[in-house]
């Protein structure tokens, strides 16, 4: 019997400090046993438990894309015991990864559809995974127009800034990068909160257009009415949730919203599905 | 299915014989209560009891259980890599478990034996355990098993059912595991099948008749989850609760757990421990946000899980066998029977708006 609680051993291969407050770091991992990388086959939107012996585990969205081989990547905010310890670890250190977990964004449903991807703050990790996946030459023609609205408090708080600039220069993806405010005279993108920018830039909703939203609760709260006004039906609004987790496989009992477990039945739900569950997230 | 007859004084001889090949567990009186414990070489179970204070869930699902071990010694080749903890493979047998508690294992099994994931700890422990039940001839007044999918003579989940008929026990051998245990114990006197069946049916009818309390569960499935979640009676149900967690601790079907690492020097273990939805930390995010931050939310979660979410998810009844422990032990007299009936008969259309 495969033990679903046993992490794959991994080595930290690279650490990138992403944001000016140094609270967000990206960790690139390689598997100690190459066959484990095959077992860890994942889809954009899934997450995994990062496991540090002696500290515990944290559920983190996978920031690398299944089209990127040879490593897996996670961007971690420094919050509690495990993430603080992780932020103090070094390249070469050994730890564990358990997963992949959860359902992913519904890539089969989204085939042939236009997408507007709306992200805020550091909740951009699985959206990065999704964008890399979508822009892969193997996949790009399977999907329609792609709009990305991504905002952070300041330019220095945006994740993956080099990649954002690369995507900005492409003609097969429409980037709408925004910050809440900045006094940087060289800032050449947008200024304004994500909901406001979404109102201006999101394509109108129709049967062939889906919105994927991932961000802090306040952003989601004010973005949803914008999408409602732009005629997005609730089964075309796709959201990724977070809840406290331990097992990650639907057994330990804490992350449920009604009968659904965020870890196993989610973390991705349509707004139509969420409307039918208690709002315990 | 075979029925054998065991003379009462032959029960002890059989149990002593079983100790050669099984770890035996049974109810033993300690202070004023019976609890399940490992039966030592010269120890016999005390079967003169109504039910144990704690459920026997710990026999399959220990309150604290080592999952992995690790070393933090940088010179060790496997430093920081988790290794599976070594488990014993000795078969266990539980003597005198009540039918409601054996039933509870079947309800919990649905969680740990999911189509996509299998919990190896729970499933291995369950597979190597033989359950010898003792039919309930004198149920407690807080027992409501007959309306909770179980019963005082329920055979579900048992390998053998013992029925006390005075000088003897009649033992219904229900599974191969049960037959193997009976053989190892040397219990091999067949009972006269017809009269034994008749005796058992007669005692069973009397026991079921003596169960005086009940719950209504027939409407739970059809109720709208969000409407029930917003029902006004949760405020009242939670009012007296002190979130002590006694209910989840005693409950044979509460399975929620936490996973923690414990390091001593350079060595450590990753273990899982029982947890409780009654505690605020159970769901608290790293940011401090808590989706079930109030006791009303937590009390509602416990009952909604047992009596609505589970009902909807598995379409096989509630996550309660009617053992009544939570009713007997609750320090503020919260009664799952009352709440179950309130839920079952809830009609959002007839709720009066609170006076403004």
B117 vs A93, A244, A249: nearest CB: A249
B261 vs A56, A244, A259: nearest CB: A56
Predicted confidence (pLDDT) at residue B1 exceeds the cutoff of 80: no
Whole-number pLDDT of residue B9: 87
Predicted confidence (pLDDT) at residue B243 exceeds the cutoff of 90: yes
Residue A244 and residue B283: Cβ atoms within 8 Å?
yes
Query: Are A131 and A212 contained in the same domain?
Result: yes
State which of A59, A75, A100 marks the end of a domain: A100
Q: Using a pLDDT cut of 70, give the percent of chain B over it.
A: 98
What integer best gives the mean pLDDT of chain B?
A: 94
State which of A39, A73, A100 marks the end of a domain: A100
Is A192 a member of any domain?
yes
Predicted confidence (pLDDT) at residue B355 exceeds the cutoff of 60: no
Query: Are A51 and A156 contained in the same domain?
Result: no
The tokens of A78 are what?
Answer: 């420094």
State which of A100, A126, A153 marks the end of a domain: A100
Residue A1 and residue B117: Cβ atoms within 8 Å?
no
The continuous run of DSSP H or E covering A183 comes out as none
B117 vs A4, A52, A217: nearest CB: A4
Residue B275 and residue A252: Cβ atoms within 8 Å?
yes
Please write the tens of the pLDDT for every residue from B184-237: 999 999 998 899 999 999 999 999 999 999 999 999 999 999 999 999 999 999
3-state secondary structure of A230: coil
Whole-number pLDDT of residue B192: 87
Q: What is the ipTM of this complex?
A: 0.92
Residue B29, number of CB atoms within 10 A of its CB: 13
Predicted confidence (pLDDT) at residue B107 exceeds the cutoff of 80: yes
Residue B72 and residue A249: Cβ atoms within 8 Å?
no
Residue A247 and residue B257: Cβ atoms within 8 Å?
yes
Whole-number pLDDT of residue A98: 97
Whole-number pLDDT of residue B344: 96
Residue B114 and residue A250: Cβ atoms within 8 Å?
yes
Is A77 a member of any domain?
yes
Please write the tens of the pLDDT for every residue from B132-186: 999 999 999 999 999 999 999 999 999 999 999 998 999 999 999 999 999 999 9
| CATH value at residue A77 | 2.40.30.10
Rounded-to-integer distance, Cα A220 and Cα A214, Å: 8
Cβ atoms of B54 and B328 within 8 Å: the answer is: no
A54 vs B263, B301, B304: nearest CB: B263
Is A204 a member of any domain?
yes
Rounded-to-integer distance, Cα A50 and Cα A66, Å: 18
Query: Are A90 and A169 contained in the same domain?
Result: no
How much is the pTM? Answer: 0.94
Q: How confident is the model at residue B42 (pLDDT cuts 50, 70, 90)?
A: confident
| CATH value at residue A164 | 3.40.50.80
Query: Are A49 and A144 contained in the same domain?
Result: no
3-state secondary structure of B292: coil
**Mean predicted confidence (pLDDT) in B97-106:** 97
Nearest residue on chain A to B309, alpha-carbon basis: A259
Query: Are A152 and A219 contained in the same domain?
Result: yes
Residue A56 and residue B68: Cβ atoms within 8 Å?
no
Question: C-alpha angle A149/A261/A75, rounded to 5°?
Answer: 40
Query: Are A112 and A225 contained in the same domain?
Result: yes
Whole-number pLDDT of residue A217: 80
Provide the domain limits for residue A141. Answer: 107-240
Query: Are A195 and A231 contained in the same domain?
Result: yes
Distance from CA of A201 to the nearest CA of B (A): 31
Query: Are A55 and A146 contained in the same domain?
Result: no
Put the strands of the sheet holding B129-134 in their side by side order.
B2-7, B168-173, B160-164, B129-134, B92-97, B23-30, B33-38
Q: Spell out which residues of chain B touch residue A259, defining contact as CB-CB under 8 Å.
A: 225, 308-310, 312-313
3-state secondary structure of A167: helix
Is A54 a member of any domain?
yes
A54 vs B72, B114, B285: nearest CB: B72
Provide DSSP, B294-310: SHHHHHHHHHHIIIIIH
Whole-number pLDDT of residue B293: 95
Residue A5 and residue B259: Cβ atoms within 8 Å?
yes
Query: Are A88 and A177 contained in the same domain?
Result: no
How many structural domains are present in chain A? Answer: 2
Distance from CA of B320 to the nearest CA of A (A): 16
Residue A39 Cα distances to A6, A28, A83, B113, B120, angstroms: 13, 18, 25, 21, 19
Whole-number pLDDT of residue A1: 64
Query: Are A13 and A86 contained in the same domain?
Result: yes
Whole-number pLDDT of residue B353: 58
Q: How confident is the model at residue B354 (pLDDT cuts 50, 70, 90)?
A: low
Q: Spell out which residues of chain B touch residue A243, defining contact as CB-CB under 8 Å.
A: 283, 285, 291
Mean pLDDT, consecutive 10-residue stretches, chain A (281 aa), reads: 92 97 97 96 98 97 97 97 97 97 97 96 94 97 97 95 95 96 93 95 95 89 92 95 95 96 96 94 90
Query: Are A85 and A111 contained in the same domain?
Result: no
Residue B137 C-beta-side C-alpha neighbours within 13 Å: 17
Query: Are A210 and A116 contained in the same domain?
Result: yes
3-state secondary structure of A226: helix
């Amino acid at each position: 019997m495969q033990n679903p609680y046993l992490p794959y051993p991994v080595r930290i291969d690279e650490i990138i400090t992403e944001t000016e407050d140094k609270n967000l770091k990206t960790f690139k991992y390689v598997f100690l046993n190459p066959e484990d990388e095959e077992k860890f086959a994942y889809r954009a939107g899934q997450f995994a438990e990062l496991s540090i012996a002696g500290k515990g585990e944290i559920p983190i969205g996978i920031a690398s894309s299944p089209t990127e081989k040879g490593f897996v990547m996670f961007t971690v905010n420094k919050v509690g015991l495990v993430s603080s310890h992780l932020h103090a670890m070094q390249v070469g250190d050994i730890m564990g990864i358990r997963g992949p977990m959860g359902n992913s964004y519904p890539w089969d449903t989204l085939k042939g559809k236009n997408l507007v991807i709306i992200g805020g703050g550091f909740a951009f990790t699985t959206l990065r995974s999704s964008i890399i996946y979508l822009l892969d030459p193997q996949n790009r023609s399977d999907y329609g127009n792609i709009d990305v609205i991504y905002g952070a408090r300041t330019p220095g708080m945006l994740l993956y800034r080099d990649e954002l600039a690369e995507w900005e220069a492409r003609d097969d993806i429409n980037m709408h990068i925004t910050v809440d405010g900045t006094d940087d005279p060289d800032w050449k993108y947008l200024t304004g909160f994500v909901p406001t920018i979404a109102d201006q830039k999101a394509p109108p909703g129709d049967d062939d257009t889906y919105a994927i939203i991932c961000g802090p609760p306040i952003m989601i709260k004010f973005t949803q009415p914008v999408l409602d006004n732009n005629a997005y039906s609730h089964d075309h609004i796709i959201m990724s949730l977070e809840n406290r987790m331990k097992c990650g496989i639907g057994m330990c009992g804490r992350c449920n919203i009604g009968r659904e477990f965020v870890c196993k039945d989610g973390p991705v739900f349509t707004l139509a599905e969420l409307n039918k569950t208690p709002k315990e997230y | 299915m075979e029925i054998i007859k065991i003379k009462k004084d032959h029960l002890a001889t059989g149990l002593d014989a079983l100790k050669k090949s099984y770890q035996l567990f049974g109810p033993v009186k300690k202070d004023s209560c019976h609890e399940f414990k490992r039966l030592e070489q010269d120890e016999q179970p005390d079967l003169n009891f109504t039910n144990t204070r704690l459920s026997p869930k710990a026999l399959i699902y220990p309150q604290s259980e080592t999952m992995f071990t690790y070393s933090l010694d940088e010179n060790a080749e496997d430093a920081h890599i988790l290794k599976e903890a070594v488990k014993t493979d000795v078969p266990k047998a539980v003597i005198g478990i009540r039918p409601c508690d054996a039933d509870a294992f079947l309800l919990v099994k649905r969680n740990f034996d999911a189509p996509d994931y299998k919990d190896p700890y729970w499933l291995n422990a369950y597979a190597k355990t033989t359950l010898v039940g003792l039919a309930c001839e004198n149920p407690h007044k807080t027992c409501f098993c007959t309306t909770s999918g179980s019963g005082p003579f329920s055979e579900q989940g048992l390998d053998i059912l013992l029925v006390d008929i005075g000088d003897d026990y009649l033992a219904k051998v229900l599974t191969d595991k049960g037959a193997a245990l009976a053989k190892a114990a040397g219990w091999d006197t067949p009972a006269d099948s017809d009269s034994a069946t008749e005796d058992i049916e007669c005692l069973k009818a009397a026991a079921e008749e003596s169960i005086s309390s009940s719950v209504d569960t027939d409407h739970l499935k059809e109720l709208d989850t969000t409407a029930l979640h917003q029902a006004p009676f949760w405020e009242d149900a939670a009012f007296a609760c002190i979130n002590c967690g006694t209910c989840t601790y005693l409950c044979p079907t509460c399975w929620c757990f936490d996973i923690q690492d414990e390091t001593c020097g350079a060595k450590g273990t990753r273990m899982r421990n029982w947890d409780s939805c009654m505690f605020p930390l159970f769901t608290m995010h790293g940011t401090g946000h808590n989706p079930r931050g109030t006791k009303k939310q937590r009390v509602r979660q416990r009952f909604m899980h047992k009596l609505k979410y589970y009902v909807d998810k598995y379409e096989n009844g509630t996550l309660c066998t009617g053992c009544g422990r939570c009713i007997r032990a609750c320090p503020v007299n919260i009664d799952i029977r009352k709440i179950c009936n309130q839920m079952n008969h809830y009609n959002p259309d007839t709720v009066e708006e609170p006076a403004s």
